[in-house]
Amino acid sequence: MTRILTYPMPDELYLPTRTLGKTSTQEYIGPDSLWLYLNEDGRIINSFTADELPPAESRGLDETVVEFVPETDEDYIKIMILYSHWTPKEYEVSVGPADDPNIVVTDPTDIIMIFDEVQIVEDYTAPLQFRDYERYKNRSDDFIRSVRDGMLLESDGRVAPDMPEDVKQAWLTYRQKLRDFPVTYAAVPNWLVRFPLSPDQQAVGDVEFEDEAIDIIMIADRTAEDQAAIDQLPDGCD
């Protein structure tokens, strides 16, 4: 069945606040109901459509099976997240200096990015909650710095006096970018930063954009609707 779902959004992706009254819509394409296998605490162990439902004898002794029949948009959102049979848009997003690699970000207005799947699994009867930054995207300053330090350590010894000048300069530039990283990315949220590509990685190509199974909307191809979605991201990216 299909249905147009309307749902609230936080003021900004991963913020808990909703003072701006933002909403979005998304088409529901999925089953009329979902059968849930629950443990003794009411936590979802597994879920099936009616056609996929295993025989009763395969059920564990401590498992309960209930049919979740949606009535409200919130119910349909829960089933949509549990069923997970759709592909969100993926966007190219620019962060940091212009000559640094861009990143790929899932549509920040998509249902899967807005609502907390773990909370639904824990108690599907509870009201929906926004995704929590601490649970999903917690990358501290210390973590970023430790990764940067590891990359510097790993690239030690890659510069030799007798190597071709262009190869030497590529490694020197890369290592300088790593040293400057805390400053050049100071305005970018930690969960959005992407580290520079080493000369070895550059020679292979940017694998972030080479997965043919993912249709990435590039910056140059964005529509007004795409830009409105990107605006849900925090400052520090474009």
**Residue 156 placed within a domain:** yes
Q: Minimal CA–CA distance to 120: which of 108, 132, 128?
A: 128
Over residues 203-232, the pLDDT tens digits come to: 888 888 877 778 899 999 999 999 999 999
Percent of the chain with pLDDT over 70: 98
**Residue 45 placed within a domain:** no
**Residue 101 placed within a domain:** no
**Residue 229 placed within a domain:** no
**Residue 200 placed within a domain:** yes
**Residue 9 placed within a domain:** no
**Residue 183 placed within a domain:** yes
Task: State residue 137's pLDDT score.
Answer: 66
221-229 long-range contacts, CB within 8 A, separation 24+: 222/91, 226/89, 226/91, 228/109, 229/89, 229/91, 229/107, 229/108, 229/109
Domain interval for residue 181: 141-204
Confidence band of 81 (pLDDT split at 50, 70, 90): very high
Mean pLDDT along residues 44-65: 89
Cβ atoms 118, 135 nearer than 8 A: yes
pTM, two decimals, is 0.86
Give the number of domains in the chain: 1
Task: State residue 136's pLDDT score.
Answer: 59
Confidence band of 27 (pLDDT split at 50, 70, 90): very high
Over residues 89-146, the pLDDT tens digits come to: 999 999 988 888 899 999 999 999 999 999 999 999 999 999 887 765 668 889 999 9
Confidence band of 6 (pLDDT split at 50, 70, 90): very high
Task: State residue 208's pLDDT score.
Answer: 80
**Residue 168 placed within a domain:** yes
Q: Is the pLDDT of residue 162 over 90?
A: no
Q: Is the pLDDT of residue 42 over 90?
A: yes
